[in-house]
Amino acid sequence: MSVTIKNVGNTTVIGIEGKLMLGHEENNFHKSIRHALDNNQNKIVVDLSKIQFISSWGIGILIHCYTTTINKQGKFLFAAVPDKVNEVFRSTKLDSVFEMFNTVEEALGE
């Protein structure tokens, strides 16, 4: 899994590519969230367009990052969620918790 970070105003866009599973890569994702929040980037947009698969561990990481952001009065938004990942969000009822947008641009406009 690779993580890309781009700042747009007071928003940090984090792109994830590959499989969201176990491993040290998830630490990089969470560190990027904390770094953004520590630098007053209180809106986080996570671009999931290039995710191939999400495991229960990956869901746990997303929930942890969501909670970290909300606890700092930030916004945590998802963009371009693939159908397979969206099915997982629906089956776990996370689609009623997470804010999701069709594109990164739509999430930036939120």
pTM for the model stands at 0.91
pLDDT in tens, 64-105: 999 999 999 999 999 999 999 999 999 999 999 999 999 999
All domains of the chain, ordered by start, with CATH? 2-108 (3.30.750.24)
Residue 20 has pLDDT above 80, yes or no: no
Counting beta carbons within 10 angstroms of the beta carbon of residue 25, is it exposed (0 to 12), middle (13 to 18) or buried (19 or more)? Answer: middle
User: What's the CA gap between 1 and 91, in Å, rounded?
Assistant: 24
User: What's the CA gap between 56 and 107, in Å, rounded?
Assistant: 25
